[in-house]
Amino acid sequence: MPDEREQIAKLRSENEQLRRENTLLRQKVDLLVKRIFGAGSEKLDAGQLELLLSGEDEPGKAPEPELAAEAARCSKETSTPRERKPREKRLPEHLPLEEEIIEPLVVQAEPEAWRCIGEEVSEQLDYEPARFLRRRLIRRKFVHRVDKDMAPVIAPLPPVLQERGIAAPGLLAQVVVAKYCDHLPLYRQEQIYKSRHGVELPRQTLARWIELAADWLSPIYRHINQELVGERTGGYLQVDETPIKYLAPGHGTTRTGYLWTASRPGGDVLYSWQTSRAADCIEKLIPGDYRGVIQCDGYAGYRSFASAAHRAGNITLAACHAHMRRKFIEAQDQSRRTCGWILRQIAHLYGVEKSLRQERAGPKLRAARRVAESHMVHERLRRTLIRLKTSKRYLPQSAMGKAIDYALGIWPALRIYLEDGRVEIDNNLVENAIRPTAIGKKNWLFVGEAHAGERGAILYTLIENCRRRGIDPYAYLRDTLSKLPALTNWAIADWTPAAYARRLRERERVQQPLQRAS
């Protein structure tokens, strides 16, 4: 009998272990299916939160009393109606206007017999495709009429990007914008130019032109790098990285490189290409004498970078609430009511940030409002997560267990934004800067070589900074590439996207009174 009892207990233990393992595997499979086939947005409206809060939790287990009370209170709250945006005009007013007058046939046959009493106007939006053109520079030679011994004179050739090159700055700007802004691979550009315009431009030629443009624009890139991590940044950066495949000759396949991104909210963004994800790569993006706050995700490389002996105490790591929130969204199927309550608390924190953005609050006001309104929500959420962890209701390897461990592991870094009004609640601004690169790599699949990644980082930096300031990247690149051959190093600072945007605003400010006067 004792042997049978021991065997039964052993089988029950094995059965319980297999049941837990089966549950964990099912959660992982469901999460993988959701990531592949589910919606990519993490946004939850009030209706979805109420559904989570009123849903069933784990079978056979009652929800926490405090969570149930809070869920009942939150479920009774009514969502405020959204304000309707004013209807925009169908056609932009700044577009050039071409008018076409259509007369009736009877009026055309006998115009003197008819008198116009009015008109009806209808507008359409039209488009003319881009075109190639040959730009011919003619430099005329002259000789002196009286002094026959003087040598002929001729105007010097304007400075050019490449001697005897056929690509004008406008064409270089078009190729760069098409690849790094419109995400068109070079082979597609080659096909478009040949089939629609009758111009044959091999992709090898296009690749050399991109290299030429990146080499000329690299001084501006280096200047942006110096400005971003200098004293004028206010000691606050957001950093993230994204993987990109690149060709590695001799290995027979592609390898994985990383495009590291540093961004200053309200300022510039900088991309840096590295062939690994090691902590040493951050050193190439952020200099060793940098002091301030770096907001990032939970990757251990950032902690290694900040805790280095020569940098100890100079850098404070701030965490991202969006990454924490993402973990609980992935764990909804395991614990709907608990996750719904946690997501509701995070929504309260984001509600405070939304009102601060609408008020355009500065760092001091943001810090004061966060202490008054967000601090208590933050503390309530922390106590709840500690209670859930100590209750051992969730397996450490389950989706909910991992979400709780992740949140508590980065909690001191999450609190930084409560104490520093400059720091954002999440890292979404730098992730938004990475998003265009993700669209691009889906189209061109990989970078040609490791050095091509460096050129891509330069061009992505300039194009993204143009986008942030609302200026046309094609116009900026065309004007900048036209001026660069004649510029000195001292004039580089005047041709960053920020300086270019200031000149455009100043030009508009001068032209507006003249237009009103006319």
* pLDDT tens digits in sequence order for the chain, 518 residues long: 567 777 777 777 778 777 777 777 776 676 666 666 666 556 655 555 555 555 555 544 544 555 555 555 544 444 455 666 666 677 778 788 888 888 999 899 998 889 988 888 888 888 877 888 888 889 999 998 888 889 999 998 888 888 888 899 999 999 999 999 999 999 999 999 999 989 999 999 999 999 999 999 999 999 998 888 765 445 889 999 989 888 877 666 788 889 999 998 888 999 999 888 888 888 888 877 788 899 998 888 888 888 875 777 788 899 999 999 988 888 888 788 888 899 999 999 999 999 999 998 988 999 999 999 999 999 999 999 999 888 888 888 888 888 999 999 999 999 999 989 999 999 988 988 888 888 888 887 778 777 888 999 999 999 999 999 999 999 999 999 999 999 888 999 999 999 999 999 988 888 777 666 65
Backbone angles phi, psi at 24, to 5 degrees: -65, -40
Task: Give the model's pLDDT for residue 59.
Answer: 44
Please report whether residue 390 resides in a domain: yes
332 and 213 part of one domain: no
Dist CA 244 CA 254 (whole Å): 10
Q: Position of tokens 């509600």?
A: 351
Q: DSSP character for 446?
A: S
Q: Which helix or strand (DSSP H or E) is residue 337 part of? A: helix 336-359
Number of domains the chain contains: 3
Please report whether residue 58 resides in a domain: no
Please report whether residue 401 resides in a domain: yes
**Token duo for residue 240:** 């993230």
Transcribe 93-147 into DSSP letters. Answer: TTS---------HHHHH-GGG---------------------------EE--SS-
Please report whether residue 398 resides in a domain: yes
Dist CA 132 CA 103 (whole Å): 36
249 and 315 part of one domain: yes
User: Which of 391, 411, 444 is a domain's end point?
Assistant: 444
Task: Give the model's pLDDT for residue 60.
Answer: 43
Burial of 369 (0-12, 13-18, 19+ CB in 10 A): middle
Of the candidates 313, 315, 256, the one whose C-alpha atom is nearest the C-alpha of residue 282 is: 315
Dist CA 413 CA 471 (whole Å): 35
192 and 170 part of one domain: yes
Of the candidates 309, 343, 350, the one whose C-alpha atom is nearest the C-alpha of residue 326 is: 343
Please report whether residue 249 resides in a domain: yes
User: Quick one: the chain helix, strand, coil %, rounded to 5?
Assistant: 55, 10, 35
Dist CA 144 CA 150 (whole Å): 7
Which amino acid makes up residue 165?
G
Dist CA 262 CA 240 (whole Å): 7
455 and 505 part of one domain: yes
Burial of 224 (0-12, 13-18, 19+ CB in 10 A): buried
Of the candidates 451, 427, 430, the one whose C-alpha atom is nearest the C-alpha of residue 261 is: 430
330 and 403 part of one domain: yes
Dist CA 246 CA 457 (whole Å): 13
312 and 433 part of one domain: yes
Domain around 490: 165-220+449-517
Give the bridge partners for 245, in sequence order. Answer: 256
Dist CA 473 CA 465 (whole Å): 9
Terminus-to-terminus CA distance in the chain, angstroms?
107
Please report whether residue 354 resides in a domain: yes
Task: Give the model's pLDDT for residue 308.
Answer: 76
Dihedral sign, CA of 461, 465, 470, 472?
negative
412 and 455 part of one domain: no
Please report whether residue 109 resides in a domain: no
502 and 486 part of one domain: yes
176 and 216 part of one domain: yes
453 and 471 part of one domain: yes
> Residues 496, 454, 164, CA angle at the centre, nearest 5°?
75
CATH number at residue 303: 3.30.420.10
311 and 340 part of one domain: no
**Token duo for residue 466:** 């143009």
3-state SS, residue 240: strand
294 and 350 part of one domain: no
Please report whether residue 25 resides in a domain: no
